[in-house]
Chain A
Amino acid sequence: MSDFLLTQIINYGAPILGIIVFIGALGVPFPGTFIVVAAGAFSRQDILTWHTTGLVALTCVVLGDSLSYAMGYYAREMILRRFEGSAQWSQAESSFNRWGGTSIFLTRFLITGIAVPVNLIAGTSKFSFRQFILYDLLGETIWIFGYGGLGYLFGTQWEAVSELLSNISGLLLGLVLLAGGTVLAIRWSKTSAAHIRRLKQSSRQ
């Protein structure tokens, strides 16, 4: 798959890169970081022009993210039918409204594996679209121009850079899952301990 995409980029340039990052932003598992670093290296080799390619890719990825936000937004009714009124749903919604900006920003370039779920949650929890676009644009600019810039800097050695960045992203995703699981475990054990205490007190009375 990656080889096929790279051949298409060197043949057709920025429009293909734009289509790839757009589809990737909708959840199709394309190797986005790998492709962006490669595009940076191709710019150094004068195969692509860095500014046009960067702008096309940035526009397309932001459009893709907005579309997946919209999917979450319009799926809200369906999700609410199942979870509305539950304590967990309100908790998740308020947590996202508090930490949403940071999550959107960091998942654009650092923990890219959960970028699409974050877009969907942002839409579902009615996180402000203006703020979503702001954090999205900031994060994606780092992804396109920062990672692409590393590809540009390392030129024909871009594969080593890309390998490193992809693995950092996977490692961070693992750490986030581990931390999430631990936090939930602690929170739920505290809640159930308090519940047991209340039960004991009421039985004494």
Chain B
Amino acid sequence: MRRPFGFLGAAVLVLAALRLPLGGEAATGFASHPVLLAATLAALALFALAPFAPLRHSLGLPVGFAGVILTCAVTLRLLVDPGVAGTAGTGFWALVLAGWLAAALVVTGMAALKLRNETLRRANDLAIPLLFGGFLFYLWEVTVRGFGVPSVLVPSPSATAVRFAASLPTLGEDFVQTFVRGVLIGYAIGCGAGFVVAIVAHRFTFLGRGLLPIGNFVSALPIVGIAPIMVMWFGFDWPSKVAVVAIITFFPMLVNTLAGLAAAGPIERDLMRSYGASPAQTLVKLNLPAAMPFIFNALKINSTLALIGAIVAEFFGTPTRGIGFRISIEVARMSLDMVWAEIALAAIAGMAFYGIVALAERATTFWHPSYRT
């Protein structure tokens, strides 16, 4: 019962926006923008209609969503006006607020939906965070440009995107240096070594009982600190980054794989014994499959650790490329849009890496209880 009042509140805010000043003295208002005026009136109508039956049950959300899109488009177009950008007035912010309120109601409504269809439910669960995040970016953009925050402090997402698109070659070079060379190679070496040592330690109990406490302890240490020593040993270029990443990823892999190899229950192990299975057979057919969730847990932890390790290592010396190098240089030159473009690159790389590992986990451990629905 709250939703009708909410959407009506958004409608009232839009109405107020039509009366209040949009910007500073140079701003012209809606009079000179007939298209924007029409769009605003349409949004007003949509917000006013959304709560009412028979729209409420079937079409309330789409109608409200259309209103949100319209308000967002109108505010973004208004910011092009030099009289609004930097000196946005109360009318402008009332419009933003109306969009915000309506968007919150739409997302809440979507979260409360009870969908029977499996595909639709998945799509809904994916759409909710995307809408939420998209609106956060919109708020960031509007706030930065509406208040005229200097771009040396916080650049707007659009400025970052423009910069990102304009400096693709540089970003590509940094990506190859930091991610493809440093992270991926180091990740493969570290995880592979941790895995092999864990299997050996599982086979020889004495080694396992000695390594597990040490591995647990070392996992809690700030290992990134070895970066300067690795730079000293392996030089400025990517081998030193590989070494740092390999060492950082080794211990989580070791500890998790050891725990996973011991995860098979006593009954299953007894069964393997009664089959007369050799240790190798027990390992391949029982222990490794049982350890898969643990191993993927380590792979996921390591995917973020590896990126951090590679960037940290670049602060201790690097050739003139790489994400960490570029960030420290561009911060010193106060060109923050380039820094944000590098951050976006690192974030996209990190999320894609994590996502690929998570997908691989789904493909290989689909049998695990946590994925059954």
| A pairs with B | no
